[in-house]
Structure 1
Amino acid sequence: NCLCSRSRCYLQLGELDAALTDAEDSLKENPEFNKGLFAKAEALYSKGEFEFALLNFHKGQHLRPDMAQFRLGVQKAREAIETAIGDTRRCQLSSEGDLTLYHDFVAEQEAARIARNKRGGKKVATMAAPSRRRPDAHRARSGKKPTSNVKQLLGELYTDREYLENLLADPSLKLGEGTSVKSLAKNGIQYLDKRTEFWRQQKPMYVRKSEQRELRSTKSNTTQRMATAPSVDRVARLIEQAENLNDKGNFDTGLEKAEQAKAGVAGVISADKDLFVARVHNALGTALFATSKIDQAHDEFSQAVDVARNLKDPELLARSLSNLAKSHAAKGNFDAAVTCWSEAQPNITDRVEQSWLQHEMGRAHLEMGKADEALECGLAAERAANETGDQDWQLHSWILCAQANVALGGHQSALSYYEQAAQLAQRLHKSSLHDAI
């Protein structure tokens, strides 16, 4: 286990040979040690030896088929091999291309023949070797990769490599501490070159260029679609404005903003589109409800509930159900209203909202002649209001409890609740409500 852990550390540091050595040492006592097999396979993969890595991943998968890391290792090693060698079925050998090695061989043979003939005193006509060397043949044989390829393989790291090369060439780093700095720079360049070679083997340049073309094409199509689509920020801003205006009681302007948001949200390209749609329906419904357009508001709230259910967003669903319940109650459908509020209740954590919800459910029960349920809701509303110290909802909950007790014939309890409510209404300067009590 210790050797495997150290192998992983070496792997992160880029010391691939040391990582492989530790992984192999961990397998000396038990060649079937699964962690050791995985460490060895990873080290081989990082060295660019994909075939041997695949062999060890396969061995580990055979011994421990339950370990997903071996299955994933087999998959990535296979992909690396297939990407590196390409599709062999498309490979058609021909005499075209770089024949430098062949021409060099012919030239060497001709030179040797001429030398032999000269030693024998014969003068012979030379056979001109064909010279069709490609301009980049020397570079290809010397193993140097074009700068553009290195730049593509390294990406953002290419600027770091340039910086290290400049350090090596800096004449001021020849003495003292400069020697150690140059050594570190050299090590850095060697490490980057190793990674470049690994990435080149893992995914050759022709594959990268093909992928980049596909990516550019995809981005272009996406950009074209988004250019014609409404701005996500603009729609979100309109929804927020509509909600804020409704909260402030400016329902006419809130309705205008909500309608603008509804017109724009249909063309929005965003993962949050459904959330925007639900919020638009709720904002529209709230403004319509406040302007006495109950049926239209009810339709908006119903659509908001449907969207919220599909989103499986508990908070949004609770808010939408509460709005729908309110419209049911306004239409006289108290039973449906109670059903909506009951479904919303478990997802409402705010105690002030709980007090409001219990009060509204209690009033609906009272309208249906269910005084027992109304009193129960009134007491629950009182408890929630007491916890938060919200005096407005304390007042409303006491009035509800008083009316429920009257319906149940508990006149003494009703009188006590009315007296508490009258005193609190006076303290809160609610004169009209105090007179009604």
Structure 2
Amino acid sequence: MQKLHLKETTRFLRGHKLRPQMQEFRLGIQKAQEAIENSVGSPSNVKLEIKGDLSFLNIGGERAKPIAAIQNLTKEKKQKTEKTPKSEKTTKQLLGEFYSDKKYLENLMKDEDLIEGTTKSGEKVKDIIQRCLSYLDTCTEFWHQEKPTSAQEMRQKFMQEKCTKRRNSALSSGFLLKSLDEIDREFMSGNAEGTLKKAEEVMKMVQRWSEKEVPNKKEVLGTLHSCIGNALVDLGNMDKALEHHQKDLELAKQCKLPGALSRALDNIGQVYVRNEEFAEAIQVWEKKLPLVCSDLEKTWLLHEIGLCYLKLDHHEEARDYGVRSVAAADGIADKKWQLNANVLVAQSELKLGNYESCVTHFERALSYAKLLEDDSAMDAIEKALHEAKQHLTP
């Protein structure tokens, strides 16, 4: 699923480049990057197999060079077995294509600088490589104890099954990545109808696949429901959009995926705002708050909830959320959101009759607008500030 999260990052980067004024894309980039880290998890929990890439290793503060594969061949607990004396020729015959990997790993163990390196979680590269070598030794011992013909047949059967799984996985993965890219292009070009058509076609295809072919089938379907929902929002069909975002939410709950859950709640809230159902939006977005990891997203979400309260004339709640948004924006020194949050507080204070505080926050917002050289924001704030000052007693 890391590939799909990388695709999400690409989507948001492309959107941010085309529409830099839209804060959603900047938030999306950060959320997708966090999803990549979440999907990879701690390297101590990752089972490594023979075909892959260890370029994520961090050795001496630098990235290690990609080395030969190692992903999922250590599922069984390591057991110490008594080795049977055997020649290199026998080992090579028993291991087949894995023999070259074994030699490569043995050579890596001679590289002192490499094996003393550690992953980001603190695990030594030496331990990872040794674990793989131990597994290969276990396989060799087992096959050596079988009759030569049985060992060869077993190895061939193992390789055939492995190749079949890889082929099916590669086909489905390739199809999904290509399809998501096409959906991206349609959506970013503003073609909501094209986005909807393509996403629905892909969904029908994925629904026919088994979970053996696509282990993360539910997660993929959730992503497609999200794409369809966003396209329907652009087409103005809010009821249908809400249905698809709610299906995304259900699948996220089933799969226990915090990132997908946060995405679905985000989109559902957006639909409610479009429908001017601000109380429902608040209810949904307040459920999303505990799932927020980044300070930027927190700043945005606090502001949006506060704005919904302002629309409902709940001015104290609007001010409180505005103050929290200001604090979050100050924490990351984001001038754009410092401007927005201060305007929200100023508007709330104006409605509450706290004119001095209102003027103070409008003046702060104006200073940020000047730093950003945002002429339209400066004009609007100056007018509001002038009106607020009229309420101050001489």
Q: For this structure pair, what is the TM-score category when the shorter chain's length is used for normalisation?
A: 0.5 to 0.7
Partner of 1:294: 238
Q: Deviations over 1:84-109 (max 9, x none)?
A: xxxxxxxxxxxxxxxxxxxxxxxxxx
Partner of 1:320: 264
Partner of 2:333: 389
Give the distance between the partners of 2:225 and 2:159, measured in 1 at CA: 37
- Structure 2 residue aligned with 1:155, among 96, 102, 111? 96
Q: CA deviation at 1:251?
A: 4.0
> Is structure 2 residue 251 aligned with structure 1 residue 310?
no
Give the distance between the partners of 1:197 and 1:324, measured in 2 at CA: 55
Give the distance between the partners of 2:273 and 2:239, measured in 1 at CA: 12
Partner of 1:430: 376
The answer as to whether partners of 1:239 and 1:279 remain within 8 angstroms in 2 is no
Q: CA deviation at 1:331?
A: 2.9
Mean alpha-carbon deviation: is it higher for 333-342 or for 207-216?
Answer: 207-216
- Structure 1 residue aligned with 2:146, among 199, 203, 214? 203
Give the distance between the partners of 2:283 and 2:139, measured in 1 at CA: 65
Give the distance between the partners of 1:235 and 1:276, measured in 2 at CA: 9
Give the distance between the partners of 2:139 and 2:205, measured in 1 at CA: 48
Give the distance between the partners of 2:250 and 2:189, measured in 1 at CA: 27
Give the residue type in structure 2 aligned to 1:429: D
Partner of 1:284: 228
Give the residue type in structure 1 aligned to 2:355: H
Structure 2 CA distance for partners of 1:421 and 1:244, relative to 1, 3 Å: farther
Give the distance between the partners of 1:405 and 1:309, measured in 2 at CA: 39
Partner of 2:351: 407
The TM-score normalised by the length of structure 2 is: 0.54
Give the residue type in structure 1 aligned to 2:83: S
The answer as to whether partners of 1:239 and 1:283 remain within 8 angstroms in 2 is no
Counterpart mapping for 1:191-340 below 5 A: 202-205=145-148, 207-208=150-151, 211=154, 215=158, 226=168, 231-243=172-184, 246=187, 251-268=192-209, 269-340=213-284
Q: CA deviation at 1:403?
A: 2.2
The answer as to whether partners of 1:405 and 1:413 remain within 8 angstroms in 2 is yes
Structure 2 CA distance for partners of 1:311 and 1:436, relative to 1, 3 Å: farther
Partner of 1:100: none
Q: Secondary structure at the match of 2:214?
A: coil
The answer as to whether partners of 1:345 and 1:354 remain within 8 angstroms in 2 is yes
Partner of 2:4: none
Q: CA deviation at 1:434?
A: 4.7
Bigger relative CO (Cα 8 Å, ≥ 6 apart): 2
Partner of 2:30: none
Q: Secondary structure at the match of 1:292?
A: coil
- Structure 1 residue aligned with 2:316, among 364, 369, 372? 372
Q: CA deviation at 1:281?
A: 1.6
Give the distance between the partners of 1:370 and 1:253, measured in 2 at CA: 41
Give the residue type in structure 1 aligned to 2:376: K
Structure 2 CA distance for partners of 1:380 and 1:253, relative to 1, 3 Å: farther
Q: CA deviation at 1:157?
A: 8.3
Unaligned runs of 5+ in 2: 1-78, 101-137, 385-394
Q: CA deviation at 1:295?
A: 1.2
Q: Deviations over 1:177-198 (max 9, x none)?
A: xxxxxxxxxxxxxxxxxx9996
Unaligned runs of 5+ in 1: 1-40, 49-146, 160-194
Give the residue type in structure 2 aligned to 1:262: M
> Is structure 2 residue 273 aligned with structure 1 residue 350?
no
RMSD: 4.1
Give the residue type in structure 2 aligned to 1:266: Q
Q: CA deviation at 1:206?
A: 5.3
Higher helix share: 1
Structure 2 CA distance for partners of 1:209 and 1:421, relative to 1, 3 Å: closer
Which has the larger Rg?
Answer: 1
Q: Alignment length, in residue pairs?
A: 262
> Is structure 2 residue 83 aligned with structure 1 residue 46?
yes
Identity %: 23
The TM-score normalised by the length of structure 1 is: 0.49
The answer as to whether partners of 2:144 and 2:151 remain within 8 angstroms in 1 is no
The answer as to whether partners of 1:235 and 1:264 remain within 8 angstroms in 2 is no
The answer as to whether partners of 2:200 and 2:228 remain within 8 angstroms in 1 is yes
Q: CA deviation at 1:202?
A: 2.1
The answer as to whether partners of 1:278 and 1:308 remain within 8 angstroms in 2 is yes
Give the distance between the partners of 1:232 and 1:196, measured in 2 at CA: 29
Partner of 1:82: none
> Is structure 2 residue 302 aligned with structure 1 residue 361?
no
Counterpart mapping for 1:87-236 below 5 A: 153=94, 155-156=96-97, 202-205=145-148, 207-208=150-151, 211=154, 215=158, 226=168, 231-236=172-177
